[in-house]
Structure 1
Amino acid sequence: MRILLGISVLLRFLQTAAYISLFFFSLIKLKEPKRKRIVLTVAIYIAVAGAYCALLALYGQELAERLIIPVEVGLSLLLIVLCCADRWAVSLFVMFTQFNLYLGISYISDVCSTDTSLLGYQIQYLIFRTALFGALLFFNFKFLRPRFRRLVEVLGNEWRSIALAAFFFYVLEAVILYFPRFYWYEQDCRWYLVASSYLVFFSVYLLIFRSINAIVGKYEEQERGRILAQQNKLWEEQLAEQKNAVSAARRDRHDLRHHYDTLLSMLEGGKTQEAVSYLNAQTRRAESAALAGVCEHPAANAILSRWAARARESGIKTEIDARIPESLPMDEVALVGILANAFENAVESCLRTPEGSERFITVNIAFSTPYNGAKKLHLVFENSCADNIVFDGDFPKSQKPGGGTGTKSITYSAERYNGMVEFTVQDSVFRTRILLHL
């Protein structure tokens, strides 16, 4: 029986460690390389679990109970240091929030476990906690993560105040449940204090995040309006260019006979080199006058064509292979925002390369529908870059005051569509990879 109880305590500890890890993973951004960091964290957790069980066997349950909070806090801080790529304020908010929910779930599981035998109680307790932890983690991964990541990208120093509120609630819950002695030694288990505190906890959290969502919604509307204005301006410019191209084509058709006469005169006079130069000049003129249709999607074609023209005007060699259909099952404004921000970043990166170096931008975009019917849009931007690019976590640090908005906007739009964004540099080539699940 003693061995079975020891095993049940070990399982409870491992369950707690698994919950802490999965709760963090459901909300935070992980550092690279992810797999190695996760494996290292799991190995440390298992070692700590063994040490905790050894203390339980040597010194009894009372000491093990008093070490619960320090051990949980230590494991969470270790996970933050090893795996979390978010700011400390965000990480601490997640940590104290998961502690608050963990205490509530453990309390409910304890109250609901009615078996009078010690082993039966431990089994019931494990089952109830597993069910509640599983439901919470499913909610986090399925529904909460996209919304939470949106707040992480938009908010800044506000996270300090939010993390502080979560910390105060954790202290309050710890005092109610564990001081001056553990709640399970009380006849009523202090249910009225616990229920009241969690009612306040959820009410305050709801109020905070409703207010934040209102702020974020206003910000998104402003960003949407800015992108729409940019898109309308680009379409107006493209329409003007199309009119100019049509007028130029009419003039060229009218002047075609004169070009033939000029070429014929040069060739008859033996001026072959001059004739070749004349033909090359006319070819370049025709290419610059023609408006490239890079894809079938009207909005994507407008933004890509315009930025390609700007890049070429700046002496940047630009190649685009965009296989985007005429219509996509996604917000057109979001698509334009991704393309404009990625192309603008590529142009600015090229212009910061040393004079005389090769400047180029290559864009590859493909829309696919695999056998399972899941629609995907894969975008890759590659461009020449300087050697002094510095990363802050997964994001390149902007080299202009107030910069960095473009990469955050791309990331937010990708997360809206359950996608991913990757920024990398190798051999003076900067790559932006974007995957959208439509």
Structure 2
Amino acid sequence: MQAAIYLAFGYVLMESPWYILACVPFWNQRRVSKKVIGLMAFFMIAFRAATAFVLVLAVPNWLNYTMYGYLLNYALLIALFFRAFCVSPIRLFYVFLLLYSISSCINNLSVGCLRFLFPGMSVTMSTFPLLTVVVFGIFLLLLPILYRFLKGGLRRAVEGLDWKSILLLCVTPITFAVIALVFIGYGDAQEIKDTGLDILYLLVSLAGIASYFVNLKMLMGSAQRLQNEHELETRLALQAQNYENLTQGIEAARAARHDLRHHLNAVRDFAAQDDKTGLLRYLDEYAASLPQDEGPDWCENRAVNALLKHYLAQAAGAGVELDVKLDLPGGAGVPDTDLCVIFGNIFENAARSAAAAGKGARIRARCETGEADIVLTVENSAGTAIPHGEGLGLRSVEAAARKYGGTARFEERAGVYLSRVLLRKDPPPGDGPGTQEDLKRGTPLHEPTQ
């Protein structure tokens, strides 16, 4: 009974903090309330303690079956995370690998220290409760550093990198995780503990953690360079398009001035002959020959409006229903270059995806410009042939939003793709993402039916 109590108590203190920390990188992507996530964490902790308690009391030679307890625990944990957060398996797997390596390193360091201080003692959770206290104490010391990293660099990596990059990051650490599991299974089944084995296990854990940070830093640097290059290409494309529009406007104005002289001569002749009927007929013909307007103006911001005319005209030509109302004045408080990156990428993706959705496709967009912020919400039908994906365009939008202390979120539900962007006109110091509550003004215009 005593061993069962010690083990259950140990799992509560040694593992439950990691369940909570694992939520931090995905906090902006949660799909349930904070209260529900808290209840899930409580259930997970209670389940872990109960399985450990029952295992010790009901199973002879229970040390040989601890590996099955770990696997059952991880399976339930993954299921709960998929329910609580809108996150891909590879991202969840990557974060779990990192936290597993760090927790394993803390556990083994604690065991090694206690064996050195208490030689000859069996230092396990089921026989030595001081181990649980030491592990929890080390965790509390490292908590500020871990929380800052999980909320900062790791959250940006999880939200910004595509799944192929995340998969690449997992290759090296998964090797160390498998080795660590072998060490745990072997060590739990041994009556006599080997100090050399503990040191080797500690070194393996440290190597795994080091590989995480080195690979993550290198890949994030590469991703940042790609984003900068994409933003530069976008701005150059916008400048080229504006130059082409300006050139076409100048040529059209020159041709109009040349033709206007002939039209004025014709009008003068009709007036001189007092041929009112002929003059009116000529003016009607001239009015009918004038080029049609390129389309409605979608907003007052000239640079963004030029982009929207281009992409929304493509969507309208493909039969997409448009419901667009944008309050975006010139001099909105954010440079036009960054606004063009955000609006251009979002509406380009929306136009392509909606056009591929076929009959009944629609784009619905709203933009509100307040005194302190700009909120853009776009919903569009999602065609399976041309998905939005995780390309550089959306990552450029996220980077631009963070630049102005805002947030950008993208998700697909029931065939409708939702894009929500918040920009602050006066960004706070640093470039951290905004809070979840900042997006309340950018909630969907309507919830897609399930």
TM-score range (shorter-chain normalised) is 0.5 to 0.7
TM-score by length of 1: 0.68
- Match of residue 140, structure 2, among 104, 115, 130: 130
- Match of residue 366, structure 1, among 358, 368, 386: 368
Identity of aligned residues (%): 15
Q: Which amino acid aligns with 2:51?
A: Y
Deviation at residue 130 of structure 1 after TM alignment: 3.4
Q: Which amino acid aligns with 1:209?
A: L
Give the match for residue 393 of structure 1.
none
| Contact 1:93–1:159, Cα closer than 8 Å, also in 2 | yes
The correspondence of residues 40-55 of structure 1 with structure 2, limited to 5 A, is: 41-42=40-41, 44-52=43-51, 54-55=53-54
- Match of residue 321, structure 1, among 313, 321, 326: 326
Deviation at residue 228 of structure 1 after TM alignment: 3.0
The correspondence of residues 74-223 of structure 1 with structure 2, limited to 5 A, is: 74-79=75-80, 81-83=82-84, 85-109=86-110, 122-151=132-161, 153=162, 155-156=163-164, 159-160=166-167, 162-176=169-183, 179-181=186-188, 186=193, 188=195, 192-213=199-220, 215-217=222-224, 219-223=226-230
Change (3 A) 1:299 1:36: same
Q: Which runs of 5+ in 1 are unaligned?
A: 371-375, 391-396
- Partner Cα separation in structure 2 for residue 31 and residue 420 of structure 1: 14
Q: Deviations over 1:189-217 (max 9, x none)?
A: 85632443244224433443344345434
Give the match for residue 440 of structure 2.
none
Aligned positions, number: 406
Q: Which amino acid aligns with 2:176?
A: F
| Contact 1:28–1:91, Cα closer than 8 Å, also in 2 | no
- Partner Cα separation in structure 2 for residue 164 and residue 259 of structure 1: 79
Counterpart secondary structure, 2:293: helix
Give the match for residue 349 of structure 2.
345
Q: Which amino acid aligns with 2:422?
A: L
Change (3 A) 1:198 1:149: same
- Partner Cα separation in structure 2 for residue 58 and residue 253 of structure 1: 99
Give the match for residue 375 of structure 2.
378
The correspondence of residues 300-319 of structure 1 with structure 2, limited to 5 A, is: 300-307=304-311, 319=324
Change (3 A) 1:349 1:147: closer
- Partner Cα separation in structure 1 for residue 362 and residue 181 of structure 2: 59
Q: Which runs of 5+ in 2 are unaligned?
A: 122-126, 428-450
TM-score by length of 2: 0.66
Counterpart secondary structure, 1:381: strand
Change (3 A) 1:125 1:430: closer
Deviation at residue 419 of structure 1 after TM alignment: 1.1
| Contact 2:187–2:193, Cα closer than 8 Å, also in 1 | no
Counterpart secondary structure, 1:338: helix
Change (3 A) 1:324 1:186: farther
Deviation at residue 146 of structure 1 after TM alignment: 0.7
Q: Which amino acid aligns with 2:104?
A: L
Deviation at residue 310 of structure 1 after TM alignment: 5.5
- Partner Cα separation in structure 2 for residue 413 and residue 360 of structure 1: 22
- Partner Cα separation in structure 1 for residue 363 and residue 270 of structure 2: 37
Moved more, 67-76 or 222-231: 67-76
Moved more, 28-37 or 45-54: 28-37
Q: Which amino acid aligns with 1:226?
A: E
- Partner Cα separation in structure 1 for residue 390 and residue 5 of structure 2: 54
- Partner Cα separation in structure 2 for residue 11 and residue 253 of structure 1: 90
- Partner Cα separation in structure 1 for residue 368 and residue 253 of structure 2: 30
Q: Which amino acid aligns with 2:246?
A: L
| Contact 1:224–1:333, Cα closer than 8 Å, also in 2 | no
Deviation at residue 103 of structure 1 after TM alignment: 0.8
| Contact 2:8–2:52, Cα closer than 8 Å, also in 1 | yes
- Partner Cα separation in structure 2 for residue 143 and residue 170 of structure 1: 22
Give the match for residue 408 of structure 2.
420
Change (3 A) 1:73 1:381: closer
| Contact 1:367–1:377, Cα closer than 8 Å, also in 2 | yes
Change (3 A) 1:36 1:181: closer
- Partner Cα separation in structure 2 for residue 262 and residue 63 of structure 1: 108
Instruction: Tell whether 2:59 aligns with 1:66.
Output: no
Counterpart secondary structure, 1:341: helix
Moved more, 201-210 or 142-151: 201-210
| Contact 1:366–1:379, Cα closer than 8 Å, also in 2 | yes
- Match of residue 233, structure 1, among 216, 240, 247: 240
Deviation at residue 140 of structure 1 after TM alignment: 0.5
Give the match for residue 420 of structure 2.
433
| Contact 1:27–1:140, Cα closer than 8 Å, also in 2 | no
- Partner Cα separation in structure 2 for residue 160 and residue 423 of structure 1: 21
Deviation at residue 230 of structure 1 after TM alignment: 1.8
Q: Deviations over 1:230-249 (max 9, x none)?
A: 21221112312443565588
Over aligned residue pairs, what C-alpha RMSD do you find? Answer: 5.3
Counterpart secondary structure, 2:421: strand
| Contact 1:423–1:432, Cα closer than 8 Å, also in 2 | yes
- Partner Cα separation in structure 2 for residue 337 and residue 404 of structure 1: 16
Change (3 A) 1:365 1:247: farther
Change (3 A) 1:90 1:292: closer
